[in-house]
Every structure is written in structure tokens, then in C-alpha cells.
Structure 1
Amino acid sequence: MADRFDPRTTDRLRAGSFDAQQGVGASAATDAGLRSYMLSIYNYMTSGILLTGVVALLFAQSGMAAQIMFGPGLMKYLIIFSPLAIVFAMSFGMDKFSTAALQAMFWGFALLMGLSMSTVFLVYTGESVALAFFSTAAAFAGLSLFGYTTKKDLTGWGSFLIMGLVGLIVASLLNIFLKSSVMGLVISYAAVLIFAGLTAYDTQRLKSTYAYVAGTDMMGKVVIMGALSLYLNFINMFQALLSIMGSRD
């Protein structure tokens, strides 16, 4: 009871209260920074998807898409493989490129993807495209929210999902020659599962990365590369769902 009136005890209490307030303030600042960081990633990803969609629709409606993508010539292969080349350049050259250069490459990638994906408006009905898009958006939002909020460590999913992705690519290449509709359907279902898992995994990975890049020059680059990862998950999931539920013109 005597300690209650001991000045040293009062000082200790005040110091403890000050430290606690500092801790709360630091935690609040971290949470605000994390939200801003994740919001920047989602803004870039969403803007990239919007740009891709607008370009795809306009290119399909112009009539040029049918001539180029379904006609003779090398232009269609340039359109198809250019986005892949940009992805590799961004992934392996991330440390060499500036943030502004990565931003320009991201927008160029989204634009070229729009040209490439214009064929979906020529092959599938508008209702099918809309249904697949909104189904993907709903699934992506739920999976990303799960990855952001779950306390479960999803790190172990990484190697399994990457192996699944490699297997998916090999199977897709084989089916170019086999032209099996059954195998194509199996590949589509597998793609939905793999990119659904990658959406949750990448969201948690990006959230964890914030602690290492906050306040550094790398954060801008990580935001762009994170947006690219989530963009690819969304687009691949959309294409897989479209091939499963889409009605052809």
C-alpha cells in the first residue's frame, strides 16, 4: 500500500503508460501503412484489369482483332508472346529497373494483354464473358480476403502450387497437339484450383513482405510486382472459368 504514494512508483507507472501509448501509436501507424500498401497493390491490379478489358473490347469491335488474331501473319504471335516477354523482363530485372520503368512495363503489359484477350469477345457470348468475369471477381475477393486475414501460415502452399502450375503448363502444351476436349476441361478445372490457391498465397505473401520494404526504395517496386502477381492470378482464373462455363457464339 505504501508503494501507492512512493514517487518512484508513480514515475514507473507514468513511464509504463508512455511506453504503452508509444506501442499503440506504432502499431496504428504500421496498420495504416499496411492498408495503404495493400490498397496501392489492389488499385494497380484493378486498373490493369480495367485497361485490359477496355482494350480487348475495343479491339474486338474494331474488326481488326478477327483479321489479325484469326488470320495469317506473324503479328498475332507478337501480340500473344509479348506480354510473356514483359513478365519475364519484370521478374528477372526487378532490381535493375526503376519504379517508373516497372510502372511503364506494367501498363504496356496490360495493354498488350488486352489485344491478346480480344479473342474472348469473338469466341464467347457477351453473357458468358460477363458471368465468368463477375464469378472470378467474387471468388478473387473472397480468396484474397482469406489470405489477408487468416492466421494460418500459407507458406507451405507455395512449392505445391508452383509444381501444380508447371504441370499445368506442360499439360496445356501437350494438349495443343492432342486437341482433347476432355483434357482441356480437366486442365481448366485444375487451373481454377491452382490460381485460387495462388490468390490466397500471394495475398498473404505480399502482406508479410510489407514489414521488410516499408520505408525503403523497394516498396514502390514491390507494389508493382505484387499487382502483377495478383493480375495474373485473376486473368488466368477468369480464362479457366470462361472455358468451363462459357457459351460460344
Structure 2
Amino acid sequence: MAFNHSYTGQKVAMSTVETNKVLKNTYFLLAMTLAFSAITAAISMTMALPRFTGLVCSLVAFGLLFVIQKKANSSSAIGLVFLFTGLLGFGLGPLLNHYAAMPNGSLLIAQALGSTALVFFGLSAYALTTKKDFSFMGGFLVVGMLVVIVSSLVNLFIGSSVAFIAINAAVVLLMSGFILYDTSRIVNGGETNYILATVSLYLSIYNLFTSILALLGSSDD
């Protein structure tokens, strides 16, 4: 029995070390990719590219997601993650230029960045300190995203400003949920691949930022 208790203790210790390693690698890579995205977004802004650039970059990045999934355990995955996040950052340029051209546009962007950081750090801190298991939210979040995607497609034809606000508000709530869900999975050992964890958190931050910016921009119109 003493041996079993000792063995169990070693397993717990190893699990904790591995979890901390995944967390450390995830947050380091996340910070690097966010910085890289900011650089590519700034470059894109100076080029004054048309709005459809964002769509093209998003489609290419979406295709890269499948490649990253397959290569997640290989050394090439890190380069693919930077390519993925760099593309999304580059695609943000025209959108940022659109909001920057508004009255107090720079302030809107700064507020969106600040709000995104506040939400991310607040929710991450909560998930990390409480170690609460948010895996039960998975199904709800996926269904919620499907509803948002369908609603967004429908609203492309309807062009309702009310629906636009509602959709972006829903995205803010869903991305907040995904941050809790993804962080919880890392903390509780559900996600052991820091590449995939980084991509998941990056997408949550990206969508959170763009939706908050859209909400702030719509209120400023």
C-alpha cells in the first residue's frame, strides 16, 4: 500500500509538471503570435489594402487550421502557427483602417484592445486559480458558434444593424466561454498539446477583439 501511495504521488507530481509545462509553452507562444499579428496588422494598415483582403486571409488561414491539426506534434507546427496568426493579423489591417477613419477611431481601437486584454486576463486568472472544470460548456459553445455562423450568413442578405449588434454580443459571450473552456482543459490535463492550445486561445482572443471593436464602432456611428 505504501508503494501504491508513493507511486500515485509521483504520478500526480509528474502530471502537475507536465501541465505547468504546457501552460508555460502555450502562453509564451501565444504572446509571440499576438505580437507577430500586431506587426503584420500594422504592415497591412500602411498598405491601405481593400476590405476583401481580410476575407482572403481568413480563408487561407482556415485552410491552414487543418494542416496545423495534422502537424501539431511536429517541429514544423510552430512555423505554421506563425503563418496562421500572421495571416489573420494581416487581414485585420483593412478592418482597423475602417475603424481608425471614424471619429475617435484610434480611441475605439485602444478601448477594444484594453477590453479584450481585461476579459482574457480576468477569465484566465479565474480558470487558473480555481482550476474549475469547464468541460461541460463544450457542447453549448459549439452549438452557439454554429448559430452565430448561420445568423451571420443570413444577416449578410438582411443587413440588419440590430442583428449585427446581437451577433457580435453573442460572439463576445461565446469567446469568453471558450477562454474558460480552453484554459480549464489545459489546467485539468484535457489538452496536452501547446500548439493546439495556443491556436484555440488565439482564435478566442482574435474573435473577442473584432467583436468588441464592432460593438464599440456601432455605438459610435
What is the TM-score with the length of structure 1 in the denominator? 0.76
Question: How far apart are 1:233 and its partner, in Å?
Answer: 0.5
* Alignment match, 1:169: 149
Contact 2:22 2:186 in 1 (8 A): no
Q: Which amino acid aligns with 2:202?
A: Y
Superposed CA offset, 1:134-163 (max 9, x none) = 111111111112222335432211001110
* Alignment match, 1:79: 57
Could you say what secondary structure the match of 2:185 adopts?
helix
- How far, CA to CA, are the matches of 1:110 and 1:47 in structure 2? 10
- How far, CA to CA, are the matches of 2:220 and 2:42 in structure 1? 16
- How far, CA to CA, are the matches of 1:153 and 1:248 in structure 2? 38
Question: How far apart are 1:49 and its partner, in Å?
Answer: 1.1
Contact 1:40 1:223 in 2 (8 A): yes
Please give the residue correspondences for 1:1-249 in structure 2 after superposition, counting only pairs within 5 Å. 27=12, 30-61=15-46, 64=47, 66=48, 68-70=49-51, 77-91=55-69, 93-94=70-71, 98-124=73-99, 125-209=105-189, 213=192, 222-246=193-217
What 5-or-longer segments of structure 2 have no aligned partner?
Answer: 100-104
Query: Could you say if the C-alpha distance between residues 164 and 70 of structure 1 is closer, same or farther in structure 2, counting changes exceeding 3 Å?
Result: closer
- How far, CA to CA, are the matches of 2:55 and 2:163 in structure 1? 24
- How far, CA to CA, are the matches of 2:220 and 2:91 in structure 1? 18
* Alignment match, 2:102: none
What 5-or-longer segments of structure 1 have no aligned partner?
Answer: 1-15, 214-221
Moved over 4 A (4+): 18-30
Contact 1:57 1:121 in 2 (8 A): no
Query: Could you say if the C-alpha distance between residues 154 and 70 of structure 1 is closer, same or farther in structure 2, counting changes exceeding 3 Å?
Result: closer
Could you say what secondary structure the match of 1:99 adopts?
coil
Contact 1:120 1:129 in 2 (8 A): no
- How far, CA to CA, are the matches of 2:131 and 2:32 in structure 1? 29
- How far, CA to CA, are the matches of 2:29 and 2:121 in structure 1? 15
Question: How far apart are 1:209 and its partner, in Å?
Answer: 2.8
Question: How far apart are 1:230 and its partner, in Å?
Answer: 0.3
- How far, CA to CA, are the matches of 1:162 and 1:128 in structure 2? 29
What is the TM-score with the length of structure 2 in the denominator? 0.85
- How far, CA to CA, are the matches of 1:120 and 1:192 in structure 2? 18
- How far, CA to CA, are the matches of 1:167 and 1:19 in structure 2? 49
Over aligned residue pairs, what C-alpha RMSD do you find? 2.7
Q: Which amino acid aligns with 1:141?
A: F
- How far, CA to CA, are the matches of 1:169 and 1:79 in structure 2? 18
Could you say what secondary structure the match of 2:177 adopts?
helix
* Alignment match, 1:10: none
- How far, CA to CA, are the matches of 2:124 and 2:171 in structure 1? 17
Question: How far apart are 1:23 and its partner, in Å?
Answer: 7.1
